[in-house]
Structures are given as structure tokens and as C-alpha cells.
Amino acid sequence: MVENRRWLTVLAHAVLWLGVLIIIFPVLVTLMASTQSTQQIMVGAISLIPGSEAGHNYWTALTQGATGTSNNAAWKMMLNSGVVAMLIACGKIILSLLAAYAIIFFALPLRMLWFWLIFLTLMLPVEVRILPTYKVISDLALLDTYTGLSLPLIASATGTLLFRQFFMTLPNELVEAAKIDGAGPFRFFKDVVIPLSKTNIAALFVIQFIYGWNQYLWPLLITTKGEMETIVIGIRKMMADNDSITDWGVVMATTMLAMIPPVLVVIFMQRWFVKGLVDNEK
Amino acid sequence: MQRRVVYSSRLLPLLFVAPQVAICLIFFYWPAAQAVKQSLYLEDPFGGISDFVGFENFQTLFSQREYLDSFVRSMIYGTLVSVIALSVALLLAVATMRVARTSGRIYQTLILWPYAVAPAIAGVMWMYVFHPSIGILGKQMVLNGWGWNYILKGDQAFGLMVFAAAWKQISYNFIFFLAGLQAIPKSLIEAAAIDGAGPFKRFRDIVFPLLSPTGFFLLIVNIVYAFFETFGVIHAVTRGGPAKSTEILVYKVYHDGVVGLDIGGSAAQSVVLMVLVIGLTIVQFKYVERKVHY
């Protein structure tokens, strides 16, 4: 900063400490609760002192699930979430790369029509077309399948836009040089465009993986069998309508398990993700 | 957007663009068109016989007290969530910039990770904090005789939903505000300081106006988030209750359609939401392109 005002720096630290505390608090509570037994929680309320049931809670959560309205093993639900998130992230990246490549590097017939058609899907989130989309999926016999969980979500207006903008910054000389060297469209795509897009691909991957993992309404609609549930909707179903018979310790452990993979992805890929997010949406 | 040098094949690009276009048509445009169509018909959920009724579904919708209440509730909800999430994020971003040289990175990591937390999970975690019988703070609030019970009291439930939804969105706003602050040229701030402007005056006259495009963009994103993505928070914690006090529009469209099987009415609600999203998106692109600063 420009001038040194000590009290302002102290104030900034105080504000940040308070902010970080509020941000971390619910997770800390959940983490501590996941080490306590359900009886202990029911009698007293969650305590911030760690309990001794961590092993039992996490093992039960992973292998059996809570005894609520649905009892799914967390490993199975995490696997479902992981598969769906990977399919969505990879699908979105591949489809957007291809579409942007076609729009930028070819004399694509009706170019603007296709571009706007993809772009305007931004205005049609699942929430505004719930029942008809459900009907399409059920007519295609895709209820309770990985395809049904991921396919309708892999069109990506933001991804296409991101790659389109990036491709426009590539110098014309690059394409000319590649053509002179005899590289056809496939070769140019594979050996020039993809390697140059690596950072953007990594950024988009983080954002879309989290988007896929955290889906709620869509899996809620189209999964009817317990074994196809993703972990985010599984947690809600573990809580019995009557709070007093919910197996809280195990539910809390499952909540932690549901958060760990996407949070790790964000923390370890922080640099790409921040860049991707800011470049992507502005 | 045309480049000078292109490949001349015409079939190949059509093949490349086809998968994405197909998905858009099958899973976006077709269902959206169906929703518009159904909103103009009165449909029997069992027989599937339908009669064209024009705008009757919309008239019914807007004459229902429940729907109008839900509409107003969503507006209040959207405003509160956005204002809280934006102002807290801005405060944290400004504070992070102040200490950027020494510990900015650490704070950044500590603040941005909730981006990865699903809205439903954010709701559930705050439930563990404020639950009247097992919650770490909730139980204490009951013992203190504050009459705390969000499970039975509508305004408390609404407050909790606002809080959980805003908490989750802080990290997203923070990332953008921080990037916006970093993009402000240092020389501008230094020049103002030399001219005798103190830190608060500099913020008000330089930083804040230069951040306004970011702020405006975020405002729209936050409203869309509060209107649509918070479905998970509400479904996971209160299910619209107690007594519909947390039933915002997106929860109502789900509830009436999926649980209540009112196809025409739910479709009409979908169309109203569609108009809202389209409006917000147009505003966003019009103004963000033009850059809102003064």
C-alpha cells in the first residue's frame, strides 16, 4: 500500500480473521460432529471437542450408510458423483473445443446461427424446463443411468465462448505456417490447438467438475433407484423426517465425505481455477 | 469473428459442431418449447387429454395469493442474499489487498474454498449449527430463552436460508472483487495519495467507481444464483416450510410440477421464470459490454 498506516493493517487482519472464522465455522462444526456418536449428539448438541467415534462413523458411512429413509454406502454415492462429474467436465470440454474450432477455423455454413443457438442456452437453466426435460429423458429410457445424469448437462455455452475467444487470439501466421507445412484440420487441432489450450482446459475442468459434482435438482429428478444417487442428494435422504431417529454421526461423516473431493480440486488447482473463472465470465 | 485463414472443408465443421447443437436442441430448446406450449393448455395429469386455454394458466397463477406471495418472497430473498454476499465479499477483498504483500495468498485460499461446496451442503452444515435440538448454537439459543426454532417459525427459517445461501456465494464474489482490485493501476492510487487523498477517500472516489463494472456483473450473477441455484439449500433444509415461508419461485415450480403434478400451472411458472432469466441475461450483456462506470 501507499502509506503505512498501522491501524488500518491491523483492522484488515481483524476483518479477515472474523471473515475466515465465519467461513470455516460450519465446516469445523461438521467435522467435530462427525467424530461424535449419535447418542452424544442427541443428548447434548454437537460439541466442538472431538469425540472418539470418528472411525466408526466414517467406516459406517463409507460401507453401509446411515439408517434413514435411504441407506446407501457413501463409497457408492461418491463413485456415482465422481463418474457424473468426470463425464460432465470432460464432455463439456470436448464438445466446446470442437464447436469453437468449427466456428473459428472453418467456413462453417450458418456460423452465426450455430453460435447463437449454443450461446442462448445460458438463458434456459434446468429449473425453467423441469417437467419437459424429465419427459425427454424418460422417453429415451435414460432414467437412472449415468448417461441421463450427465448428457443433458454437457452442452456448454460458457465453455464454447471461452475457447472461441481464445482461438481468436491465435495469430493467423500460425494457421498459415501449419498449412504450408501440410497440416490438415485434424493435425492442426491435435498438435497445435490442443497443446496451446492446456491452461484453459485445466481451468474449465476445475469449474465444470465442481459444477457436475454439486448438481442437485437434476439428479433428484431422474434418479429413482438408491444405487444411482449422487452423494449430494444422498445426504438429504439420510435424514429421516423425524429428526430423532436420524443417525447424525454418520450423516455428518457423509457430509464431510461429500465435500472433500471438490474442495481438494479447488485448493490444488487454485491458480488455474481463479484465472479460468475470471477470464471465462467476463 | 471470421478469421482470414481458414480450412475450406464445409462438412467437417458441421460434424464438429453437431454434437453440441444436438444436445442443445434435444435437451434445451425442445423442452423449453414444450414448457411454453403446455403453459397454454389445460392438461389432465392422468389421461393426457389437453385443451387449449390461452393465457388462462397465467391468469390463474397471478390471481393466486400463494404465487404472488412466493414472487415477493423471492424478490426479498434475492435482494438480501445478493446484498449480503456482495458486501461481505467486497470488504474481505479490500482487506486482503491491504495485506496482500505479507499474507494475501493465505487469506485468499482460506476464503475461496467454499466455492467448491454444494449449496445443499452449505444449507445442511448451517442446519447443524442452528438446529434447535442438536445445533451447536441453536440449542444454546433455545436454552437462553430466545424462542429459537426455525423448524416451526417461518421468519427464522427464512433468515437461516438467506444466511446459508449468502455464505456459499461469498467466495465467488471475493474472487472477482479481488481480481478487479488487482487490475486497478497502482499509479492511480499513488497519484491520489500524493494529492492528499486518505484511504477512505481513495476507496470512495477511485476504487469503488472502477470496481463498478465487476460489481454490476456480480449483482446479476448473484440474483440468478439466489433465484435458481439455491434450490438445493431450500430443498435440503426446510422444503419450503414451515407454512411455505421459504417457498421461493424455483421451489414452487418444482413442488407444483413434480409433487403436485399440475402440468399446466407448473409450465406457466416455468415460462415466468424463463422470462426472468432472459431479462436478466440481456441486462447483463447490454450493460457489462458498455462498462458501468462514471
Rounded CA-CA distance A125/A121 in Å is 7
Torsion-angle region of residue A230: left (phi > 0), alpha (psi -120 to 50) or beta?
beta
Which pLDDT value is given to residue A216? Answer: 92
Q: Inter-chain contact A258–B95, Cβ cutoff 8 Å?
A: no
User: How do residues A155-207 score in pLDDT, each as one tens digit?
Assistant: 888 889 889 888 988 888 888 888 888 888 899 999 999 999 998 899 889 98
| CATH class for the region spanning B64-290 | mainly alpha
DSSP secondary structure letter of residue B7: B
Q: Is A47 exposed, middle or buried (0-12, 13-18, 19+ CB in 10 A)?
A: middle
Q: Does B23 touch chain A (CB under 8 A)?
A: yes
Residue of A nearest to B19 (CA): A95
Report the gap between the CA of A87 and the closest CA in chain B (Å).
Answer: 14
Q: In chain A, what are the domains?
A: 34-280 (1.10.3720.10)
Tens-of-pLDDT digits for all 282 residues of chain A?
456 678 888 999 999 999 999 999 999 999 998 888 888 888 877 888 888 888 888 988 888 877 765 668 888 899 999 999 999 999 999 999 999 999 988 888 888 899 889 988 888 888 888 888 888 998 999 899 999 999 988 888 888 988 988 898 888 888 888 888 888 889 999 999 999 999 889 988 998 999 999 999 999 989 888 788 899 998 888 886 666 678 888 889 999 999 999 999 988 888 887 877 776 554
Residue of B2, B4, B7, B287 to mutate, testing the A interface (most A Cβ within 10 Å of its Cβ):
B7
The whole-number pLDDT of residue A282 equals: 44
Residue A156 and residue A117 in contact, taking contact as beta carbons nearer than 8 Å: no
Question: Could you tell me the three cell numbers for B84?
Answer: 449480503
Low-confidence ranges of chain B (pLDDT < 70): 1-5, 44-49, 288-294
Cβ of B85 under 8 Å from any chain A Cβ?
Answer: no
User: How far is B71 from B81, CA to CA, in rounded Å?
Assistant: 15
| Sequence spans of domains, chain B | 64-290
With an 8 Å Cβ cutoff, are B110 and A24 in contact? yes
